[in-house]
Structure 1
Amino acid sequence: MLPPHRPHPPTPQNNQLEKIYPRELSRLNRLETLNLQNNRLTSRGLPEEAFEHLTNLNYLYLANNKLTLAPRFLPNALISVDFAANYLTKIYGLTFGQKPNLRSVYLHNNKLADAGLPDNMFNGSSNVEILILSSNFLRHVPKHLPPALYKLHLKNNKLEKIPPGAFSELSNLRELYLQNNYLTDKGLDNETFWKLSSLEYLDLSSNNLSRVPAGLPRSLVLLHLEKNAIRSVDADVLTPIRSLEYLLLHSNQLRAQGIHPRAFQGLKRLHTVHLYNNALERVPSGLPRRVRTLMILHNQITGIGRDDFATTYFLEELNLSYNRITSPKLLDIAGNQLTDIPERLPESLEYLYLQNNKISTVPANAFDSTPNLKGIFLRFNKLAVGSVVESAFRRLKHLQVLDIEGNHEYGDVSKDRGRLEEEEEEDKDEEDEEEEERW
C-alpha cells in the first residue's frame, strides 16, 4: 500500500511480469519507490543482485506475486517493504536486517513457519514500528522483535504458547493482534503482557482460553476475548485496568456464577460490555456502574430481578433479546435517562418501576399494552400539571398503586433528590476505592 501522503508514481504494477533483469534497474540509481505488486514474479525471476544499485530506494512493493523466497539482500535505505500475499517460506538475515530507516514490514498471507525466520531478522533495524505477520504458519512469536514496534499482527497463525519474555522489550507497543490462534491458559502466564506498558488494543479472540488472562496491562482501552471457551472472570484480573472502555466477552461459555461480583469493580471508564452468546441464566451481579451499552442477548436468562440494574445509572442501550424470559411481571428501569414511557411493554407486567428518570408526559395510550398493571412508580420524574392524561389509567382495572411523588408539585424535593443521588454515587465510588486499596 502506497503511503497516502505521497503521489503515486508510474510503476509496473498490475501487469504480467515474471522476471526482472538487474541491468534494467541498475540505471535507476536515484529511484525511491518501486511498485511491482500484482504481477507474476517468482523468486527465480528476481535475482539476488536485482536491487544492488538502488541505493536510494525507500519504498518497495512486491505484494501479490509468486515469490517463495525473500530477496537475500535489499537496499539499506528502505523505509517500507510489502511482501504480502506471496508464497514466502524463508526470510534471510539481511532481507530486513541492517536497515536503520526501516519503519514498516508487511509479510501477511504467506507460508512462513518458524524455521523460515532467522533469529536476527531485524538486527540493525531497531526502528521498525509496524510488523504484519498475519496468516502464516508460525507456532512461536519471532525472537528479538524491534523495540520501536507499536503495531504487531500475529493473527491467523498456529501459536499455542507465548514464551516468557517474548514481549518484554516492547514498551512502545500499542496494538497487538493475536486472534485466530491456538492459545490456551497454559500458553500464557502472569507476565506475558505485563511489560507492555503502552498497550491499548489487545485481541485474543478465537483462541482456546477458558478464563480471562491475569497480568493484563493497565493501559488497555479495548480488550477482545470473544469466541474462546471462557467460563470465569475472577475478581482481580480486570480491576487493575482502570483505562478499560470496551470489553468483548461474547460467544464464550460464561454462566452468571462464573462472573465474580467484584469482577468489574472500579472500572470507571468501562462503558461497553458484550456478553451475548453465552450461557447466562440470569443477569450477572456487580455490573460496571458506568456501563452505557450492555449486550446480553442470546443467553438463557429466564427473568429480570428488581435489583439487576439498580446501580447502572448511565445505561443507554440494553439488549436482552433471544433469552428465555417468559411473561415478566416486574420491570424495573428506574434511575436511567428515559424521557418517555417505553412502548410495547409485555402484557403480563404487574409492576413497572420508572422512578428517577426524565419522563415529562404520560400519553393516553401509554399503558394500552399492559392491562394487568397493579403498580406504577413514576416518582421523581419531570411530570407537570396537564402532562398526565387521565384516560391513560382507565383500562388498568387492577391498578392498586400509582406513585407520582416528587414531580411538578414537589419540584424542590426532586432537585434535592437529584443532588442526593449524586452524593450517594460519590460516596459509593469512595467506598469502592477504599475497598480496592484494602485488597
Structure 2
Amino acid sequence: MYNNLLERIPRGLPKRAKTLMMLHNLITEIGRNDLALLYTLTELNLSYNKLTSPKLHREAFRKLRVLETLDLSGNSLHLMPLGLPRSLQVLEIKNNHLNSIPEGALMGMEKLRKLILSDNQLKLNSAYQGAWMELSALTTLDLSGNQLSHIPSDLPESLEYLYLQSNHISSVPALAFEGTPNIKGIFLRFNRLSVDSVDESSLAHLSNLQVLDIGTGNTDLPFKREEMEEEQET
C-alpha cells in the first residue's frame, strides 16, 4: 500500500498478513489499537510518513509478538519508541530527528541483529547507560550521520560492524574496542580525528578486523594506506 495518500492505518486489514508495506504515505498517527489485530506480522514498513513521537502510542506494537523487521525511517520521531517488540531482528529508524533513547527502550531485545539509527541527532549522552549492552545478539550498529563526540562505550561483544562516519569524534582511546573482540569492520570517515588522537593499541587485539575505514574527511591519517593493507594481510 506504499506511495498513496493514507493518513492512518486502514481498518479491516487481513488478520493473517505477514508483511505490511505502507511506506511513502501521509500517516501522522498510530493509535493503541491500529495494529492490534495484525499479530501474525513479521515485517512492517512505515518509513517516509509523517509520524511524530507524541502521535505514536507507546503500546501500538504490543500485539506484534512475532515481528522481525520494523522500518520507521524518514519520519519525524525525536524519541526511540518504547514498547517495541522483543522479537525484532532488524530495526531501522534512520533519517529522523532522534535525540534520545529513553530508559528501557532497548530492554529485552535479545534477538536484534541489525540496528540502523543513521542521520539523526544522537549525542553521546542520548542513550541511557548500558543501552547497547542490552543487545546481546547485535552484529551491525549504524550510528553514522549523528553528533557523537566519542566512540560509544559498553558496545555488545557480539558486534561485527560499527558505522560512525560523519560524526564529531576526535579521538580513539586505547580501550575503545576492548569489549568488541569479534568486530570485522569499523567506519570512521568524516570525523575530527588527527594523527595524535588515535591510539594504535586500540586495534591491536582485533584479530577479526577486515575493514578499517578511517580515511577521507579526517584532518590527518594516523595510518598510511599501505600500512593498513599490510596489517590486514598479516
Normalising by the residue count of structure 1, what TM-score does the alignment of the two structures yield? 0.51
Structure 2 CA distance for partners of 1:189 and 1:258, relative to 1, 3 Å = farther
Q: CA deviation at 1:313?
A: 4.8
1:235 aligns with 2:186: no
For 2:112, the aligned partner's letter is L
Matched residue SS, 2:132: coil
Structure 2 CA distance for partners of 1:283 and 1:118, relative to 1, 3 Å = closer
1:246: which partner in 2?
A: 185
For 2:126, the aligned partner's letter is G
1:15-66, Cα deviation, whole Å (9 max, x unpaired): xxxxxxxxxxxxxxxxxxxxxxxxxxxxxxxxxxxxxxxxxxxxxxx11101
Please say which of residues 209-218 and 258-267 is displaced more in the overlay: 258-267
2:15: which partner in 1?
A: 76
On the 8 A contact 1:170/1:195 being kept in 2, the answer is: yes
What is the root-mean-square deviation of aligned Cα atoms in Å?
A: 2.0
Q: Percent identity?
A: 30
1:258 aligns with 2:197: yes
1:279: which partner in 2?
A: 219
Correspondence list, 1:97-136, <5 A: 97-136=36-75
On the 8 A contact 2:51/2:76 being kept in 1, the answer is: yes
Q: CA deviation at 1:257?
A: 1.8
1:225-273, Cα deviation, whole Å (9 max, x unpaired): 0011100112222122111111100110001221123211311001211
Structure 2 CA distance for partners of 1:66 and 1:99, relative to 1, 3 Å = closer
1:363-411, Cα deviation, whole Å (9 max, x unpaired): xxxxxxxxxxxxxxxxxxxxxxxxxxxxxxxxxxxxxxxxxxxxxxxxx
Matched residue SS, 1:105: strand
Correspondence list, 1:261-410, <5 A: 261-276=200-215, 277-280=217-220, 283-284=222-223, 309=227, 313-315=230-232
On the 8 A contact 1:114/1:140 being kept in 2, the answer is: yes
On the 8 A contact 1:72/1:94 being kept in 2, the answer is: no
More helix by share: 1
On the 8 A contact 2:194/2:222 being kept in 1, the answer is: no
Distance in structure 1 (CA, Å) of the matches to 2:129 and 2:174 = 15
Distance in structure 1 (CA, Å) of the matches to 2:152 and 2:81 = 21
1:279-310, Cα deviation, whole Å (9 max, x unpaired): 12x635xxxxxxxxx759xxxxxxxxxxxx4x
Matched residue SS, 2:24: coil
Q: How many residues align?
A: 233
The unaligned stretches of length 5 or more in structure 2 are none
For 2:54, the aligned partner's letter is A
2:153: which partner in 1?
A: 214
Given candidates 104, 109, 124, the residue that maps to 1:165 is 104
Distance in structure 2 (CA, Å) of the matches to 1:137 and 1:312 = 41
Distance in structure 1 (CA, Å) of the matches to 2:75 and 2:225 = 33
Please say which of residues 125-134 and 114-123 is displaced more in the overlay: 114-123
For 1:274, the aligned partner's letter is D
Matched residue SS, 1:152: strand
Matched residue SS, 1:256: coil
Distance in structure 2 (CA, Å) of the matches to 1:283 and 1:203 = 23
On the 8 A contact 1:72/1:92 being kept in 2, the answer is: no
Structure 2 CA distance for partners of 1:125 and 1:258, relative to 1, 3 Å = same
Distance in structure 2 (CA, Å) of the matches to 1:197 and 1:95 = 31
Distance in structure 1 (CA, Å) of the matches to 2:185 and 2:96 = 25
